[in-house]
Amino acid sequence: MKKVSLLDCTLRDGGYVNDWKFGHSHLISIFERLIDSNVDIIEIGFLDKRRPFDIDRSIMPDTKCADKIYEKLERKKTMLVGMIDYGTCSIENLQPCENSCLDGIRVIFKKHLMNQAMEFCRKVKALGYKVFSQLVSITSYNDEELMELINLVNEVKPYCVSIVDTYGLLYPEDVLHYYEILDNNVEKDIRIGFHAHNNFQLGYANSLAFIDKKTNHDIVVDGTLYGMGKSAGNAPIELIAMRLNNKFNKNYNISPMLEAIEESIMEFYSKSPWGYKMLFYICAKNRCHPNYFTYYESKRNLSISKIDHIMSKIEPEEKKLLYDNKVADELYKSFIEGEYSDYKDRLKFVKEIARKRLLILGPGKNIQIQKDKVNSFIEEYAPYIIAINYIPDGFKIDCVFVTNGKRYHDMTLKLKNSSNIKFLATTNVECRNGSFDFVINRAPLLEDKESIIDNSFLMLLKFFKSIDIDELYCAGFDGYSDKEDNYCNPTMEYFFVKQKASHLNFHMKNAIADFRKTMNIKFITYSAYDEVEDINGASI
């Protein structure tokens, strides 16, 4: 019957969350709790010659540095291993195994480096270490390429060869497909391992599929405490241990794992939580490297569904998991110039408001307190009325300028009774049941030098300036307060606005003063923006 070994890689894979800075006390505490839990193998961190030794970090330049942290600790019968990302640590940085606290070295490598990496594995094995050959991004291999790799594995004979679902793309049936190829062709004295990621919330399910498959090979299954790890995280080792105890009569002690989670892991989770996230789901869905998502999100111009759409177009296939900035940039430019050009919508909007006075309604409390003044203006001038990110009570508006998906969602019920309202929307907001009347690119309207880059009033002013609007009337733009509600509807309040009230008022006054150089901006209701102050609050 197969032997199942449980490997914990919290101190290595979990280090992506905190740049491997667990702190010396946490390194020791986590290690000792894992020893008490009876896990079979502990991965103590990365060996990387580019990183200087830091006693607080689980990434170190050589095996001697691993000794400085772990050599004198009680380890019972637990195997200790380190990991090398092939090319980041030379063979000269590894002392012979008999002189090291480490029993094994795991070597990760991408498909195109398989020949060089397996030769490196051979040299590591010659130093006496148990070698784990880790097949990064297993989904990049077709069956023929996997057989090519297996031939190298059978020649070098590492301790273990592992399926690594780097981007969390596998379903249980996919795990079993790769597993079966390895099981049928890898020599029987070589173990088979599995390392899951949780982009599709399948890390644990895939680990169970791997564990439950009947095989003649001994196997190694990876996990981390509380699933701590890169991107969406890993399969939680406490869950895997529970399953192995129940089905394979193992004797893993779950309590020390829970203590480690409470004492150490939750501190890192509270600062930088990992787990299932939209970002990692979109990347896995499109089988793409996460850097593509980060690149498109940084453009600040796209809704989540548009990012998904662009990523579905990435080609050729080999570029999906090997991020290429040129591919990302060219696809973005093509999308913006083609499907997302706002030239026609700008022309349509200019025609919509032609020869009309413009009245902009903000959500400040004075829109209701000084309602009579606003109504008098409307009766006298019959302006084209645009509200910003909400539908005000008591006013018949022509259009809503919407820049925020949540604000759009909050308008849903009122929209059912306001079918004649048109929408001027920025490209990051997606319409329900059809399309917006006018869609304009968001990115050019943002303020990169401010902490709040998407002030909707300033965005609208910038848009008006770009279409040569020279006169504008405004109501409901009171300014910000650190003591009172800032909105006529308190549910619109953002907690961070009060913290920045003074700075926001100063910035808004000066920004509006700048717009007034080319645009006649008049406030119908009280506004703190109606005069410019210096930084000390004195009128200019």
Q: What is the pLDDT of residue 276?
A: 87
Strands 79-85 and 104-109: parallel
Summary mean pLDDT of the chain: 91
Q: What is the pLDDT of residue 417?
A: 64
Counting as low any pLDDT under 70, the low residues of the chain are 1, 416-419, 482-499, 531-540
φ, ψ of residue 193 in degrees (nearest 5): -120, 165
Per-state percent for the chain, helix, strand, coil, to nearest 5 = 45, 15, 40
Closest CA to 104 of 75, 83, 134: 83
Closest CA to 178 of 207, 225, 210: 210
How far apart (Å, rounded) are the C-alpha atoms in residues 40 and 46? 19
Q: What is the pLDDT of residues 310-358, one digit of tens each?
A: 999 999 888 998 899 999 999 988 888 777 789 999 999 999 999 999 9
Q: What is the pLDDT of residue 497?
A: 60
Would the CA dihedral through 177, 181, 183, 184 be positive or negative? positive
Q: Is 251 exposed, middle or buried (0-12, 13-18, 19+ CB in 10 A)?
A: exposed
CA-to-CA dists, residue 13 to 58, 189, 224, 429, angstroms:
10, 27, 8, 35
**Percent of the chain's residues with pLDDT above 90:** 77
How far apart (Å, rounded) are the C-alpha atoms in residues 489 and 410? 11
Q: What is the pLDDT of residue 483?
A: 62
